[in-house]
């Protein structure tokens, strides 16, 4: 019984290219109680491997968080399979705006403590007591209300390339960091402001809205289905699109373009750019924004040192980094000290609330 991948990413990519069939990139999540997570994980792997599903799936006692690539021709069959799992029946499937057959190259189903790392003690509040889910139309109406504080629940490197107009974008590296910062900065507005939140697909807002209601916020709202679903509703209902730039995604595509606006800058030269890349030096792998000119000049690397290292024969590179982990810069995601035009730190809440 095979419960793990036996093909490399390169081998899988070759098979996908040879097949020449369209694949759909989808995501979904569900907060629910899962007893034996390992058994459920194994069941999913066996079933989804048969469907030729690829992707990254986290299973925890609190639920499931899935980002997948599914052959378009078996999408309905896959959806019918999900409906056979009681707590996934009619689960919302967020279908990507842009598709890439190579978005995922392996099927990874992992058991985790949490489906999103939030650092919260779930025993202290009721996750079922969530904020009000609003569709794109109501969301557009709410964020024009001067009594609303619109908060981006994503990390700095996500909001840097795209966000809603007039949104507060906390300068944080992780979701767990943002929770306390937002509560502290808005502590004097728990009753007199509408707290409206959004994220990529809705999963972070689902937990955050219940947490903030527990913390005493009276008027809590969340964008139903996140940015992905918002864009589809805007297009189908011919609403005004209030999102500017690109939506960051956690697969090989790295982003989906929502509007023509380029609101970010190359971290190396400062010219307008909004395409994230990983440093080609395997011992660094830093995620940062790089324009096409710098990509060519720096050979897809974030620094001259990385460029020189990456030029070494592969075996020399392996020997050079033997016994060493990746550079700590990898966790800074675009804020490494050697990047001249990295995002500035600032207290954006103070600026917003004073306006």
Closest to 348 (Cα-Cα) out of 171, 175, 179, 183: 171
- 199 among known catalytic residues: yes
- Check if the beta carbon of residue 271 is closer than 8 Å to that of residue 291: yes
With left for phi above 0 and alpha for psi between -120 and 50, is residue 348 left, alpha or beta? alpha
Closest to 246 (Cα-Cα) out of 160, 125, 138: 160
- Check if the beta carbon of residue 37 is closer than 8 Å to that of residue 60: yes
- Check if the beta carbon of residue 288 is closer than 8 Å to that of residue 240: no
Closest to 248 (Cα-Cα) out of 345, 314, 327, 155: 155
153 token code pair: 């629940």
Angle at the Cα of 13 (from 306 to 40), degrees rounded to 5?
100
Closest to 114 (Cα-Cα) out of 67, 66, 61: 61
3 token code pair: 């419960």
- Check if the beta carbon of residue 267 is closer than 8 Å to that of residue 240: no
**Which member of 199, 266, 284, 294 is catalytic?**
199
Is 228 in a helix, a strand, or coil? Answer: helix
Is 121 in a helix, a strand, or coil? Answer: coil
Residues noted as catalytic = 199
């Amino acid at each position: 019984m095979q419960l793990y991948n036996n093909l490399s990413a390169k081998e899988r990519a070759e098979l996908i290219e040879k097949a020449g069939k369209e694949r759909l990139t989808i995501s979904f999540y569900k907060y629910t109680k899962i007893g034996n997570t390992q058994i459920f994980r194994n069941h999913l792997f066996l079933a989804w491997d048969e469907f030729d599903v690829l992707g990254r799936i986290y299973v925890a006692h609190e639920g499931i968080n899935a980002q997948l690539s599914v052959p378009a021709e078996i999408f309905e069959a896959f959806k019918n399979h999900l409906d056979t799992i009681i707590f996934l029946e009619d689960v919302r499937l967020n279908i990507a705006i842009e598709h890439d057959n190579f978005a995922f190259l392996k099927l990874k189903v992992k058991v985790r403590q949490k489906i999103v790392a939030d650092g919260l003690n779930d025993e202290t509040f009721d996750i079922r007591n969530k904020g009000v889910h609003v569709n794109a139309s109501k969301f557009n109406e709410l964020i024009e209300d001067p009594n609303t504080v619109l908060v981006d629940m994503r990390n700095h490197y996500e909001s840097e390339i795209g966000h809603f107009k007039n949104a507060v974008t906390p300068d944080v590296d992780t979701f767990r960091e943002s929770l306390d910062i937002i509560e502290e900065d808005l502590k004097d507005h728990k009753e007199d402001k509408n707290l409206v939140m959004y994220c990529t697909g809705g999963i972070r807002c689902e937990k955050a809205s219940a947490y903030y209601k527990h913390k005493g916020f009276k008027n809590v709202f969340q964008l139903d289905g996140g940015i992905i679903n918002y864009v589809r509703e805007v297009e189908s209902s011919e609403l005004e699109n209030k999102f500017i730039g690109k939506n960051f995604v956690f697969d090989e595509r790295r982003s989906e373009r929502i509007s023509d606006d380029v609101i970010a800058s190359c971290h190396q030269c400062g010219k307008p750019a909004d395409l994230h890349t990983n440093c080609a030096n395997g011992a660094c792998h830093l995620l940062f924004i790089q324009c096409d000119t710098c990509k060519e000049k720096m050979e897809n690397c974030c620094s001259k040192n990385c460029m020189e290292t990456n030029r070494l024969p592969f075996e020399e590179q392996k020997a050079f980094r033997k016994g060493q982990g990746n550079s700590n810069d990898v966790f800074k995601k675009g804020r490494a000290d050697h990047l001249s035009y990295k995002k500035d730190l600032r207290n954006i809440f103070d600026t917003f609330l004073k306006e």
